[in-house]
Protein backbone atom coordinates (compact mmCIF):
# COMPACT_ATOMS: atom_id res chain seq x y z
CA UNK A 1 0.00 0.00 0.00
CA UNK A 2 1.72 3.15 -1.22
CA UNK A 3 -0.95 5.68 -0.34
CA UNK A 4 -1.52 6.38 -4.03
CA UNK A 5 -4.24 4.30 -5.67
CA UNK A 6 -4.78 4.03 -9.40
CA UNK A 7 -7.76 2.55 -11.21
CA UNK A 8 -8.19 0.68 -13.40
CA UNK A 9 -4.98 -1.34 -13.24
CA UNK A 10 -5.50 -2.56 -16.80
CA UNK A 11 -7.41 -0.97 -19.66
CA UNK A 12 -7.86 -2.03 -23.26
CA UNK A 13 -9.49 0.45 -25.59
CA UNK A 14 -10.03 1.05 -29.24
CA UNK A 15 -8.84 4.16 -30.99
CA UNK A 16 -12.30 5.70 -31.01
CA UNK A 17 -13.13 5.02 -27.37
CA UNK A 18 -13.24 7.50 -24.51
CA UNK A 19 -11.98 6.29 -21.17
CA UNK A 20 -10.51 7.75 -18.00
CA UNK A 21 -7.79 6.82 -15.57
CA UNK A 22 -8.22 7.72 -11.93
CA UNK A 23 -5.68 8.43 -9.23
CA UNK A 24 -6.34 9.07 -5.55
CA UNK A 25 -3.76 9.85 -2.88
CA UNK A 26 -4.23 9.46 0.87
CA UNK A 27 -0.98 11.12 1.92
CA UNK A 28 -2.15 14.67 2.43
CA UNK A 29 -0.05 15.86 -0.47
CA UNK A 30 -0.94 18.83 -2.64
CA UNK A 31 0.96 18.10 -5.83
CA UNK A 32 0.05 15.35 -8.27
CA UNK A 33 1.68 14.07 -11.42
CA UNK A 34 1.04 11.89 -14.45
CA UNK A 35 3.94 9.97 -15.95
CA UNK A 36 4.08 7.74 -19.02
CA UNK A 37 6.32 4.68 -18.94
CA UNK A 38 7.04 3.04 -22.29
CA UNK A 39 9.37 0.16 -22.95
CA UNK A 40 13.00 1.16 -23.54
CA UNK A 41 12.35 4.83 -22.73
CA UNK A 42 12.85 6.91 -19.60
CA UNK A 43 9.81 7.90 -17.62
CA UNK A 44 8.13 10.86 -19.25
CA UNK A 45 6.51 13.52 -17.13
CA UNK A 46 3.18 14.48 -18.68
CA UNK A 47 1.38 16.82 -16.30
CA UNK A 48 1.87 18.42 -12.91
CA UNK A 49 -0.77 19.89 -10.66
CA UNK A 50 -0.07 22.00 -7.58
CA UNK A 51 -3.01 22.84 -5.35
CA UNK A 52 -5.39 21.74 -8.15
CA UNK A 53 -3.81 24.07 -10.68
CA UNK A 54 -1.95 22.69 -13.68
CA UNK A 55 1.62 23.94 -13.52
CA UNK A 56 3.23 21.76 -16.16
CA UNK A 57 2.18 20.26 -19.46
CA UNK A 58 5.11 18.71 -21.25
CA UNK A 59 3.82 19.05 -24.80
CA UNK A 60 1.33 16.27 -24.32
CA UNK A 61 -1.11 15.71 -27.23
CA UNK A 62 -4.61 17.00 -26.62
CA UNK A 63 -6.02 13.47 -26.83
CA UNK A 64 -4.82 13.27 -23.20
CA UNK A 65 -6.86 15.57 -20.99
CA UNK A 66 -6.06 15.79 -17.27
CA UNK A 67 -8.42 16.90 -14.55
CA UNK A 68 -7.67 17.64 -10.91
CA UNK A 69 -10.86 18.43 -9.00
CA UNK A 70 -9.09 18.56 -5.63
CA UNK A 71 -5.66 17.87 -4.16
CA UNK A 72 -6.45 14.21 -3.57
CA UNK A 73 -7.80 13.21 -6.97
CA UNK A 74 -6.35 13.27 -10.44
CA UNK A 75 -7.87 11.98 -13.67
CA UNK A 76 -6.52 11.40 -17.14
CA UNK A 77 -9.23 11.45 -19.78
CA UNK A 78 -8.37 9.54 -22.92
CA UNK A 79 -9.89 10.12 -26.34
CA UNK A 80 -9.01 8.90 -29.85
CA UNK A 81 -5.73 7.41 -28.75
CA UNK A 82 -3.16 5.82 -31.01
CA UNK A 83 -1.52 2.41 -30.62
CA UNK A 84 1.74 4.14 -29.68
CA UNK A 85 -0.03 5.51 -26.62
CA UNK A 86 -0.02 2.00 -25.16
CA UNK A 87 2.07 2.22 -22.01
CA UNK A 88 2.01 2.14 -18.23
CA UNK A 89 0.62 5.39 -16.87
CA UNK A 90 1.88 6.23 -13.42
CA UNK A 91 0.40 8.70 -11.02
CA UNK A 92 2.53 10.23 -8.29
CA UNK A 93 2.10 12.75 -5.52
CA UNK A 94 4.31 14.93 -3.35
CA UNK A 95 4.21 17.91 -1.11
CA UNK A 96 4.14 21.04 -3.24
CA UNK A 97 7.77 22.08 -3.57
CA UNK A 98 8.85 18.77 -2.15
CA UNK A 99 11.56 16.53 -3.51
CA UNK A 100 10.18 13.03 -3.04
CA UNK A 101 7.60 11.40 -5.24
CA UNK A 102 5.23 8.68 -4.12
CA UNK A 103 3.97 6.51 -6.97
CA UNK A 104 0.84 4.51 -7.53
CA UNK A 105 0.98 1.04 -9.05
CA UNK A 106 0.11 2.27 -12.51
CA UNK A 107 -2.57 1.71 -15.11
CA UNK A 108 -1.51 -0.50 -18.00
CA UNK A 109 -3.15 0.88 -21.14
CA UNK A 110 -3.40 -1.02 -24.41
CA UNK A 111 -4.76 0.78 -27.45
CA UNK A 112 -5.91 -1.49 -30.26
Partner 1 sequence: AQSVTQLGSHVSVSEGALVLLRCNYSSSVPPYLFWYVQYPNQGLQLLLKYTSAATLVKGINGFEAEFKKSETSFHLTKPSAHMSDAAEYFCAVLTGTASKLTFGTGTRLQVTL
* Contact positions vs partner 1 (CB under 8 A): 2, 4, 6, 9, 31, 33, 40-43, 45, 48, 55-56, 90, 92, 94, 96-106, 108
Nearer to partner 1, 38 or 82 (CB): 38
Nearer to partner 1, 6 or 71 (CB): 6
Query: Contact, 6 vs 88, CB < 8 A?
Result: no
Element (H, E) at 72: none
Nearer to partner 1, 83 or 97 (CB): 97
Contacts of residue 30, defined as CB under 8 A and 6 or more positions apart, other chains included, come to: 50, 51, 71, 95, 96
Amino acid sequence: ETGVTQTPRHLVMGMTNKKSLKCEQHLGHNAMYWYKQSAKKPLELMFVYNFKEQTENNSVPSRFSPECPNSSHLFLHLHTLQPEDSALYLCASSQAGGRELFFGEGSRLTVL
